[in-house]
Amino acid sequence: MWRVFPGLFRRRIMLAHFKKKKRFACLFLALLMLTGCQGSRGEEIQEEKPEGEIREEENREEENQEPQDVRLPQVLSMEDNYRTYYEVFVYSFFDGNGDGTGDLKGLVEKLDYINDGDPATTEDLGCDGIWLMPVMPSASYHKYDVMDYYAIDPEYGTMEDFENFMAECDKRGIKVILDLVINHSSSEHPWFKEAAAYLAELGDGEPSLTDCPYVDYYHFSKEQKTGYSQVPGSDVWYYESQFSYTMPDLNLYNESLREEIGKIVDFWLAKGVGGFRLDAVKEYETGADSANIEILSWFSDMVKGKREDAYLVGEAWTDISTYEKYYESGIDSLFNFAFADSEGIIAKVVKGSSPASGYGKALQNIEERFKEYNPDYIDAPFYTNHDMGRSAGYYSGEHSPSQTKIAGALNLFMSGNAFIYYGEELGMKGSGKDENKRAPMYFYEDKEAEGMCRGPADMDGIKMKYGSYESQEKDPYSVYNYYKKAIRLRGIYPAIRRGSVENLEQFADDTLTAFSKSWEDEKVYLFCNLSPEERVIPLDGLEGEIQGIAEELCVDEKVPALKEGTLTLPGYGIVILK
């Protein structure tokens, strides 16, 4: 007997404050009319309807039942490295002191927006990890050029503010990973300033590491190679600076520098940081993947020797055939760029430029590929980040709101640590120059509201496509509430977060992707309709494996139905079967 699990509807009760009161009256009348044909709890209503019609009232018949045995998102230990991370650019998130720049006090003030620490509530997003973009002193607004690896940038606050932030995250079960930039430092870092001054005074002579050990912390040369800048005050010496002359590249083969990096890691681990996001790992030695893998291996071994459960994720912005090899280093994760950005797998299948079937196939394929290099890898799916145009701009036309929503779910329903860039859950916009991609978090419509940030100085004016958090919070079908439910489902089902994927090719086509995910004794089946039209899907061959609908994630009031082995899935709908 196919049935619908009551757990879905019990969770709807928890969201009932989003629904208009008049709907309860309609539901009550519908229940009165259906009482005569209603079966026992959890069974389907045996009412004749035209084939393929979405039977919304049928799937809602349990909304007035008592919410017993509600399945809540798992509360993870800090050692667990399968989480949902929220990437925060402190500068643009929330201003806690009124100067127009985001800071750590402001972030603490808004921590309950990310996670309030209570899995039974539904007011927070439910993310249980934060990736904190650089917070160390820097001459730039983005802070990817570090002047001091042992301090907090004064724009963001004090070390006491950071310690308070960490304590508040710990109360809420949020694991924090810190952006650690060791590919380069700032040209204002004391190491570089001392080395540059020494070489300027030295002239054409040969440097002595006894006189200035910091010379070997960087790549200096008397030849102006590609990506090299001139040492200030010298017409003889040049230094490698592949990104910018303000970002001199570090020599990560120098043993003294490695010892210093080990001390930096000790310092931040002692502050409670749960791991590190490593910037630009394929640039450690430009164009030398084998050398970069060796350096990553050293770093991973060093950190794991200090804290085994520390989480490490690397940024290797290149094609998958290259970055998959970096798993040889033993690093936990590498950001999965193949699925990200406007031309990644997710956006392509949602836009229809690639068949939907390719998504499930790719999920299974990456498992096989990554395991070849590291059997213990943890994938790091993400959809956008601070260097990419925001996803609300990927889609246009009448279906763009639905496409924006379901694309976010395709990211969140991948295994591993899924990452969300702040504001994506609101459908924020921003493209072109980097400053536009790092606009103020859209908490309120009023830009002058208390706590709103002014954003980077060179940012263009950006007209948002969707409302602020203040307005979306009240709309049950907003981008925000869709993301919130997707995150919640990810937290409820370990198989979604950790499971091994089997592509269900027999059901997939140009607009439908289907796959199962298994973890320990749990197995779920996911069907995703990537078209605006309703799909009717005979579940041939799954009769003995699936009991019914466990959960649904839909873009509007239409919901799926399952009767006599046939699944009806509304446009841009996702269903989880068990």
Domain ranges of the chain: 3-71+493-577, 84-184+254-331+378-398+417-490, 190-240
Average pLDDT, the chain: 91
Whole-angstrom distance, CA of residue 413 vs CA of residue 524: 11
Catalytic site positions:
279, 315
Whole-angstrom distance, CA of residue 156 vs CA of residue 453: 12
pLDDT at 27: 40
544 pLDDT tier (thresholds 50, 70, 90): confident
The angle at the Cα of 314, spanning 310 to 316, to the nearest 5 degrees, equals: 170
pLDDT at 66: 41
Per-residue pLDDT, averaged over 56-66, amounts to 45
- Residues of the chain with pLDDT > 70, as a percent, come to 88
The one-character DSSP state at 440 is P
Whole-angstrom distance, CA of residue 9 vs CA of residue 15: 10
Please count the residues of the chain.
Answer: 578
With a CB cutoff of 8 Å and minimum separation 6, the contacts of 194 are 212, 214
- Topology of domain 3-71+493-577 in CATH is Immunoglobulin-like (2.60.40)
323-361 CB burial, b ≥16 within 10 A, e <16:
bbbbbbbbbbbbbbbbbbbbebbbbbbbbeebbbbbbbb
- Give me the CATH code for the 84-184+254-331+378-398+417-490 domain, please: 3.20.20.80
pLDDT at 71: 86
pLDDT tens digit sequence for 63-82: 444 444 578 999 999 999 99
pLDDT at 46: 40
Per-residue pLDDT, averaged over 356-362, amounts to 98
Give the three-class secondary structure for 397. coil
pLDDT tens digit sequence for 213-254: 999 999 999 999 999 999 999 999 999 999 999 999 999 999
With a CB cutoff of 8 Å and minimum separation 6, the contacts of 212 are 194, 195, 198
Per-residue pLDDT, averaged over 500-514, amounts to 98
Per-residue pLDDT, averaged over 414-441, amounts to 98
pLDDT at 223: 96
**Residues 180, 278: contact at Cβ < 8 Å?**
yes
User: Is the fold of 3-71+493-577 the same as that of 84-184+254-331+378-398+417-490?
Assistant: no
Give the three-class secondary structure for 539. coil
- Residues of the chain with pLDDT > 90, as a percent, come to 87
pLDDT tens digit sequence for 272-282: 999 999 999 99
Lowest mean pLDDT among 2-16, 168-182, 445-459, 523-537: 2-16
pLDDT at 52: 45
14 pLDDT tier (thresholds 50, 70, 90): very low
Per-residue pLDDT, averaged over 387-404, amounts to 98
Per-residue pLDDT, averaged over 75-96, amounts to 97
Q: How many CA atoms lie within 13 A of 29 on its CB side?
A: 4
Instruction: Retrieve residue 48's tokens.
Output: 């004749």
pLDDT tens digit sequence for 561-577: 999 999 999 999 999 99
Question: With 0-12 CB in 10 A as exposed, 13-18 as middle and 19+ as buried, what is 32?
Answer: exposed
pLDDT of 386 strictly over 60: yes
SS3 content of the chain, % helix, strand, coil (to 5): 35, 15, 50
pLDDT of 402 strictly over 90: yes
Lowest mean pLDDT among 69-83, 328-342, 437-451: 69-83
Q: Which residue has the tokens 């690397």?
A: 314
pLDDT at 542: 95
pLDDT tens digit sequence for 124-148: 999 999 999 999 999 999 999 999 9
pLDDT of 3 strictly over 80: no
pLDDT at 69: 56
Q: How many CA atoms lie within 13 A of 258 on its CB side?
A: 14
543 pLDDT tier (thresholds 50, 70, 90): confident
Whole-angstrom distance, CA of residue 181 vs CA of residue 281: 9
